[in-house]
């Protein structure tokens, strides 16, 4: 770790350290509703679709009032399709509408609608939590990683959670490609934001030119 790396990490935070939850208007807390909304966002971001469309669609679902699994389940399949369409999520809208209904059903049946129970079941083991998350239809390895990267902001026992995509971005930016050393460059509460910045760099290396 060098002073230059620490300065670079803080510059990345300032320029690109915005989490996807923040982009989607989710004030993340360790409460059932924001955790559910983060799960929905992770599911939407998992598809091969522009992240801006996934974020816009997550906002539309929240705007429709489906901020809990119970409310999502109560919505009709067509209502969910229409909300996804308003967000631009048209390529996958029908399949995703079905997945959202099934996800709501599972979260209600498996964890009583409260993903804090998933956390309690999986503990602080990311691999175990990822397995549990992937029981949700539409959440694969990528979706589980998205959720865990973001949720470490309110589940501090997971910190630092840095997946391969974030490490790729860290290497590109000249930062340590080791989760512990990377996290040491910033304060604990800034780790999720630094990880988000590294993900953005991995997806768009041209960001380093700004």
Lowest mean pLDDT among 1-5, 26-30, 74-78, 203-207: 1-5
Query: Is residue 179 over pLDDT 70?
Result: yes
Tell me what pLDDT residue 52 has: 94
pLDDT band at 3 (very low <50, low <70, confident <90, very high): low
Q: What is the tens place of the pLDDT at every residue in 144-161?
A: 999 999 999 999 999 999
Query: Is residue 1 over pLDDT 70?
Result: no
Inter-residue contact 8 to 188 (CB < 8 Å): no
What global pTM score does this model have?
A: 0.94
The owner of tokens 């996934």 is 54
pLDDT band at 122 (very low <50, low <70, confident <90, very high): very high
Tell me what pLDDT residue 150 has: 97
- Token output for 187: 């304060």
* Domains of the chain by start residue, with CATH: 3-19+160-209 (no CATH), 28-138 (1.10.340.30)
Over residues 78-94, the mean pLDDT reads 93
Q: Closest Cα to residue 143, out of 153, 134, 152? A: 134
Lowest mean pLDDT among 31-35, 36-40, 68-72, 171-175: 171-175
Q: Which residues contact 137 (CB under 8 A, 6 or more apart)?
A: 98, 99, 102, 103, 106
Which DSSP state fits 159? -
Tell me what pLDDT residue 210 has: 65
Secondary structure (DSSP) of 2-46:
-HHHHHHHHHHHHHH---HHHHTT----SSHHHHHHHHHHHHHHH
Inter-residue contact 1 to 186 (CB < 8 Å): no
CA separation for the pair 44, 139 (Å, rounded): 9
- Token output for 123: 């503990």
């Amino acid at each position: 770790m060098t002073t230059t790396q620490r300065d670079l990490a803080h510059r990345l935070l300032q320029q690109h350290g915005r989490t996807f939850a923040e982009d989607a208007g989710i004030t993340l807390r360790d409460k059932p509703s924001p955790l559910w909304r983060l799960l929905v966002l992770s599911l939407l971001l998992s598809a091969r679709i522009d992240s801006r469309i996934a974020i816009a669609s997550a906002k539309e679902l929240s705007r429709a009032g489906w901020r809990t699994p119970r409310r999502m389940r109560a919505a009709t399949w067509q209502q969910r399709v229409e909300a996804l369409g308003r967000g631009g999520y048209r390529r996958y809208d029908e399949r995703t509408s079905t997945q959202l209904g099934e996800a709501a059903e599972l979260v209600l049946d498996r964890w009583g609608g409260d993903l804090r129970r998933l956390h309690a079941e999986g503990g602080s083991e990311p691999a175990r939590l990822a397995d549990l998350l992937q029981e949700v239809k539409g959440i694969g390895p990528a979706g589980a990683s998205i959720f865990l990267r973001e949720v470490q902001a309110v589940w501090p026992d997971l910190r630092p959670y840095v997946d391969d995509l974030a490490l790729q971005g860290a290497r590109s930016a000249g930062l340590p490609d080791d989760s512990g050393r990377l996290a040491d460059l910033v304060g604990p509460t800034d780790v999720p934001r630094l990880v988000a910045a590294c993900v953005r760099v991995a997806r768009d290396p041209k960001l380093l030119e700004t």
